[in-house]
Amino acid sequence: MSSGARKWYQQPLVWMIIAIPGSAVVVGIFMLQLAIRSDDGQVVDDYYKKGKAINRVLKRDREAARLGLEGAIVIAIDDNSLHLTLTQKNQAPLPNLLGLKLLHATRGSIDQEVSMVLTPKGIYRGFFSPMQPGRWYVQLETEEWRILGEWQYPQQTNVILRPTPMVEDAPNTK
């Protein structure tokens, strides 16, 4: 070996060639740990049943639109309470108890269900558990109808709930 030649471990090009696949292995191990630790929700087993349920959901959306239902929620973050004012076109009596779902945009495992109870003042009130910041979908429902809204927690303290606009109700753009 000549005195000017360097050994293999002294060559920068060799270390660069080793570093590229080595870094891929390190990142791969990190991603594997992340996938194992995080809960990505459950995949629906019975797609046929879910598909049939869509018709029922659309029927409830149409009924909410027919009734002219609209809700306004005021959120008190200090005591985790929700105050709901519900309006409708006709003056039919409203139920004493409503189901409110707080659905996280990406993590179904942290969704919440809140019972909204009608107070003597005509406002519904319920309490939610501490939540993670982010986008939440709010769904107020009975067996006959449902109205929806979006909530950016904790930035927003008001949420408006309305029936989902139907595709056939959308204006024709042709």
Q: Tens digit of pLDDT for each residue in 112-136?
A: 999 999 999 889 999 999 989 999 9
The answer to whether residue 77 is domain-embedded is yes
Asked whether the beta carbons of 114 and 128 are under 8 A apart, the reply is yes
The answer to whether residue 60 is domain-embedded is no
pTM of the entire structure?
A: 0.65
CA distance 66 to 89: 9
The answer to whether residue 87 is domain-embedded is yes
User: Where residue 55 falls among pLDDT bands split at 50, 70, 90?
Assistant: low
Res. 173: pLDDT tops 60: no
Place of tokens 């292995």: 25
Terminal-residue alpha carbon distance, the chain? 80
Task: Tell me the two tokens of residue 133.
Answer: 């910041």
Same domain (yes/no): 89, 17: no
What 3-state DSSP class applies to 33? helix
* Per-residue pLDDT at 174: 43
Distance of CA 62 to the CA centre of its chain: 22
Span 84-119, pLDDT tens digits: 998 888 777 888 999 999 999 888 889 999 999 999
Span 58-85, pLDDT tens digits: 888 888 888 888 999 999 988 999 999 9
Q: Are strands 70-76 and 158-161 parallel, antiparallel or unpaired?
A: antiparallel
CATH number of the domain to which 125 belongs: 2.60.40
Task: Tell me the two tokens of residue 24.
Answer: 């891929």
Mean pLDDT of 37-54: 66
Asked whether the beta carbons of 73 and 161 are under 8 A apart, the reply is yes
Distance of CA 33 to the CA centre of its chain: 24
| Parent domain of 100 | 69-165
Res. 39: pLDDT tops 50: yes
The answer to whether residue 138 is domain-embedded is yes
Asked whether the beta carbons of 68 and 52 are under 8 A apart, the reply is no
CA distance 23 to 20: 5
Sign of the alpha-carbon torsion through 8, 11, 14, 20: positive
